[in-house]
Structure 1
């Protein structure tokens, strides 16, 4: 693997993913029972946007920086920006939270979080970033294999009836990565069907994703919500023109939250005229 998320932290795909992730966490924590979250491809969990890697690509300038410069009034977007502000208050003016940090920020004292990262240096940084948080366990291992090893979750006598699994692979294998991701979702749904599963994916050309959509709709989930945001026309296979998430068995009410957030997100992040965001059900009706 050559992928380093430090080069892409805070870009438009991160913004979408993290707005959705916080909305999922808030929906889960509305009920008092403790929950469990698994982040299968966690990275280091915390990034510096003034570091060389981020400066070299400048992707955050077309992502989180656009929202910070002109905040939208939508509650889900405000929630995200508040989390970024909290991260910067704790770690410096140029810090940016990865998904492990956001999970730790949004979940409660009796919730538990497992984060998997395969690269040794990234896993070491992840462990250092959360060494003082007893809720977070860091596993240096393949994220796909972790679904079999860590699900269904339990800690001693505590078993978790509710939770979230975030699958956010680097897609170095291009379209072949979808095969592994769909197999992992099927494994997870078999082992822990009570959870919500969120799979992030890049979009180059939407039409190339049609087989993926069909196969995702056939997974043994009761409902599957598709969330997509493009920042450019999907007319080039050489660049990421947008991204999406499949949400399998999402919490009640999440569709309404995202329906409010997507239009202002698209308006803020699209550098040129782009297709409208997409929010629809591949399966079920929520």
Structure 2
């Protein structure tokens, strides 16, 4: 089963542009599957929120992230990729262990960031970042099925809007064997096109689109983007709706709650008859 899903996931990156929604639990994954998406990914922000924690503060463990991934793998018949943050450790061997465990969890791919979880120095130095990606690639290549390893350069999310350094990192990650390249937070079309050119023919993932403003998926495809993910956006939408409804209830107002999607709109996406064992 995993091998067939993995082949499908790899094929999605070969041509065209596809949307990869990020789910945080079985229910959200099943909604995405029911809407016809060809694959689904986890979200570190969504998982952190689900656990009552903040994202980006090393507050979620490798075991927790992989257990969440296993839940999604079991919930849908789609390929599942995981947001595995910085690989849950500073050293190349930490990252390799995370990727090996991801393969064992039935995942078809994962992303690895060049972040450190240290606010004072949030991004690994160039050599360390490349060594970590190289270790991740070696672990991915040891999988019994295709495994799409996506390497992320995080400069633009951490107050380092250095496109030249970002391009240098992504090119080095591609040369180290990363299957897909990703620099979330790119500011505009020119930056996205520059990334696509720099790592061609390797596929590029973007986060929603340029920061200067959202554009249709078709336009991102024209720019050469192969994969578009949404990070924690859907989880924020769900928690935002709960926040708005909760505020209304706390103030005694019921109109917002009465206008929420009815049970019958959500239930058809869920499985019938499952029980906990």
Question: Scaled by the length of structure 2, what TM-score is found?
Answer: 0.37
Question: Scaled by the length of structure 1, what TM-score is found?
Answer: 0.36
**Higher-RCO chain (CA-CA 8 Å, sequence separation at least 6):** 1
More strand per residue:
1
Higher Cα Rg, which structure = 2
